[in-house]
Amino acid sequence: MKFRLALLLTLIVSVAPVLRSVAADRDDRFALVIGNAKYPDAEAPLKEPINDARDIAAELKRHSFDVETGENLTGDAMRRALDRLYARIKPGSVALIFFSGFGIQSARQSYMIPVDAQIWTEPDVRRDGFSLETILSEINSRGAGVKIALIDASRRNPFERRFRSFSAGLAPVIAPNGTLVMYSAALSSVVSDTGGTHSLFVSELLKEVRVPDSTAEEALNRIRVGVTRGSHNEQVPWISSSLAEDFSFISAARPQGSTAAALAKLPPAVSPHAEAPPTAVVNIPPKIEVPAPVIPVPAVKDEDSTTVANLADDPTIKSLTGKLADNPDDANALYRRGQVYASKGAYSLAVNDFTESIRINPKDVEAFNNRCWARTVIGDLQSALRDCNEALRLRPNFIDALDSRGLVNLKSGQTKNAIADFDAALKINPRLTSSLYGRGLAKQRNGSISDGDLDISNAKAMDPNIVKEFASYGIR
C-alpha cells in the first residue's frame, strides 16, 4: 500500500509541471479588445472599429483567451479596463491588446486615443492618450511571459491638423523582451477608413489566426503579405518581435482533432479580396520597414531653397511621394504630404497638394481649412478667406476653420472680424491656445489693451511656444 502511495506521489510530482504548462496555455491568456468609433471631433463615426473589435474578441475566445471587450471607451473607461487587465496577469501568462480607432504619434511614442480626448496641442496627446510603450511595460512588470499588441490605428485623424508640427502615423515601439507588436500600416504612414464592415487588416487577421500548427509570428507574416497584396502595396503592415519562444494563437491545450472540428464549423473570415492567402511563410526580421522609392521633391521658385532641399531626405515625404508616383489621384497621400510640407515651412508645396486633394474631393473640408491656413502664412489672404468660408459652409461651426479664419482676419487688419471668429472658436473650446492668443492680439490692436494682455498672458501660460508660432506666421 505504501509502495503504491509512493508511486502515485512520484507520478503526481513528475506530471505536475506538464499540467501547469497545459493549464497556463489554456487559462492564463488574457486579452483586452477595444473598438473606438464615435469621436466627437471626427466628421462622422468610423465604420470599422466596432465590428472589428467584436469579431476579434469572439475569435480570441475560441482560442482560450479570457477576453474583455470595450466599445467607444472614454479615458476613464480605458484606464479602468487596463487596470483590470493588469490585475489579472499572472507570471508567465499571455497578455494581448487589440485596439482599433485613432492613434497619434508624439515624442516618438504611439498613443491610443479615447473617444472623449480633448486634443488641441501636442501635450494634450500625452495627457489624454494611452502610450503603447507604457502599457507593454506595465504588462511586463506584472510578469507576463508573452505580450502581444495588434494596433489598427494608422488612420487619418481629426487631431493632427491642429498641430503646426507633427509626425504622421505611428512610431516604432521600444518593447520589453517577449513582445510581438503589429501595426496595420507602416511606420509614419496612414490609411483611409474604407467604410466597410471590416478593415483589410482585420479581415486578414481573422483568417490567419485560425490556421492550425502556426506560430503567431508566422500568422502575422502571412497577414502582412495578405494586406500588402490586397491593398496593391498601398498598405504594408509593420511588425516588431522579440519573442524568445514560439507562441500560437490556437491553444496547444486543445486537442488537434477538436481544433480542426471547431475550425470546420466557423464561418469564413470576412475579406473583400478573393485572392487566396499565400502558402509560403515569409521570413521577416524583427522590425520591418519597407523603403519607399527615392523620388526627388520638385523644386519651386517661391520656397527657401534650403528648406526644399532638406525635404528630399524626409522619410515621410519620400513614402508619400512614392505612393503618388503609383497613383497620382491618391487624395489621402496628397493631403498628408501637404500637411508635412506645411509643418516644414514649404507652404507653396503644401498649397499645391491641398489643391490637388480638393480637385479629387471637392468636399474635403480639412483640405480647405489647411489650404486656408497655408495661404494665410504666405500672405495670399483673399484666397485664404475664400477657403475658410468654404470650409465653414461645408461644416458650420468647424472650430479649426474658425481659428484659421480668425488668423486670416488678424493678418488682414480686420480686428473685429478676427475677434468674432476667435470668440466663436473659444466658445467651443476655451483651451484653444491659438485662438486665445490671436484674440489677445486682435483686442490689443482694437484698443482693448488690458483685455488683450490677459488673453495673451493666459495663452502663454498654456503654451510658452505660442509667441514663436505666431511670429513664424509673420504676426507679432
**Same domain as 54, residue 202:** yes
**229 shares its domain with 311:** no
Least confident of 169-178, 192-201, 343-352: 192-201
Q: Could you tell me if 258 and 300 lie in one domain? A: no
pLDDT digits (tens, 9 = 90+) for 352-410: 999 999 999 999 888 999 999 999 999 999 999 999 999 999 998 888 899 999 999 99
pLDDT at 313 over 60: yes
Final residue before a domain boundary, out of 341, 362, 383 = 362
Q: Which CATH number is 316's domain given?
A: 1.25.40
Asked whether residue 299 is assigned to any structural domain, the reply reads yes
Q: Do 355 and 419 sit in the same domain of this protein?
A: no
Write down which residue in 362, 384, 404 finishes a domain. Answer: 362
Check whether residue 144 and residue 80 sit in a common domain.
Answer: yes
Residue with cell 487596470: 83
Name the nearest CA neighbour of 114 among 159, 145, 149: 159
- Pick 213 or 295 by higher pLDDT: 213
What's the pLDDT score for residue 311?
Answer: 77
- Average pLDDT rounded to a whole number, residues 6-25: 41
Residue 378 covered by a domain: no
Domain extent, residue 422, equals 392-476
Mean pLDDT of 8-29: 46
Number of domains making up the chain = 3
Q: Which amino acid is at 273?
A: H
26 and 144 belong to one structural domain:
yes
| Higher pLDDT, residue 463 or 141 | 141
- Tell me, yes or no, whether 261 and 297 share the same domain: no
Q: Please name the residue that has the C-alpha cell 520589453.
A: 176
Tally Cβ neighbours within 10 Å of residue 195: 9
Residue 312 belongs to some domain of the structure = yes
Is pLDDT above 80 for 12?
no
Average pLDDT for 407-435: 92
pLDDT computed for residue 294 by the predictor: 36
> Model pTM greater than 0.85?
no
Domain boundary among 312, 346, 362: 362
Mean pLDDT of 40-57: 90
Is residue 18 assigned to a domain? yes
CATH number of residue 68's parent domain: 3.40.50.1460
269 pLDDT band (50/70/90 cuts)?
A: very low
The pLDDT of residue 110 is 92
Same domain, 106 and 144: yes
Q: Residue 186: its pLDDT value, please?
A: 87
Residue 1 lies in a domain: no
Q: Is residue 463 part of a domain?
A: yes
Same-domain status, 259 and 180: yes
Both 301 and 432 in one domain: the answer is no
Residues 100 and 171 in one domain: yes
**One domain, residues 101 and 247:** yes
- Tell me, yes or no, whether 370 lies in a domain: no
